[in-house]
Structure 1
Amino acid sequence: MNFSYLFLALAIVSEVVATTSLSASNGLTRLWPSVTMVAGYGLAFVCLAFSLKTIPIGIAYAIWSGAGIILIAATGWYLYRQTLDWPAIIGLSLIVAGISIMQMFSANARL
């Protein structure tokens, strides 16, 4: 069984946790959010590296960064009450559309 997309999903979740912790670290002045941030980014890159064994780098990075952007925007909205205006919502929707099109129609995205 190919676990590449599972590793990619773990990389995305780890990156979102790390970025959220980066915000909570208050400029790296709070210990535990800072430690969580370092561990999260470390795990994210390790998982991304494992996913690249079979997923082309352009596909993996597009999914990783696009999904990360969407999840970070959602996390900022939910945890920090950061509002999203219409241009932001439209832009995020275009990211989702781009990732979806790539996954559905790109021969390189299929394993």
Structure 2
Amino acid sequence: MRVPAYVWLAVAIVAEVIATSALKASEGFSRVVPAVVVVAGYGIAFYCLSLTLKSIPVGIVYAIWSGAGIVLITLVAIALYRQVPDLPALCGLGLIVSGVVVLNLFSKMQAH
């Protein structure tokens, strides 16, 4: 069974979010278990990202990956670390999401 590129991209995003969340918990790589999660998470993320790039242009992939990652990391930071974004941060997140939507809906470099 062939896995669709956007499934690989979703897995890459989730793995990157887990790795980034564990990066804070690793306390500068001084805690072993979170440090292992960081390395494994980023390894999985980049592997899945490389599979995605076989069929979707790099600009589109990176926009979705980074935009979704930023939003999800913000939600994790709110839930786990009580880091609540202020109004300018929310506006910035909105602009990032808007940019990803514009790229996906209106860009001619989109490949489906």
Q: Does 1:72 align with 2:73?
A: yes
Q: Does 1:19 align with 2:17?
A: no
Q: Deviations over 1:3-58 (max 9, x none)?
A: 11110111000000000000111111111100000000000000000000000011
Match of 2:53 in 1: 52
Moved runs in structure 1, 4+ residues, more than 2 A? 107-110
Report how far residue 2 of structure 1 moved: 5.8
Report how far residue 109 of structure 1 moved: 2.4
Q: Distance in 2 between matches of 1:77 and 1:50?
A: 31
Give 5+ residue unaligned stretches, structure 1: none
**Root mean square deviation of aligned Cα:** 1.1
Does the 8 Å contact 1:103/1:110 carry over to 2?
Answer: no
Give 5+ residue unaligned stretches, structure 2: none
Amino acid at match of 1:106: S
Identity %: 52
Q: Deviations over 1:48-76 (max 9, x none)?
A: 00000000011101111111111111110
Report how far residue 84 of structure 1 moved: 0.5
* TM-score (structure 2 length as normaliser): 0.94
Match of 1:37 in 2: 38
Match of 2:99 in 1: 98
Amino acid at match of 1:90: C
Instruction: Work out the number of aligned pairs and report it.
Output: 111
Look up the SS of the partner of 1:7 in the other structure: helix
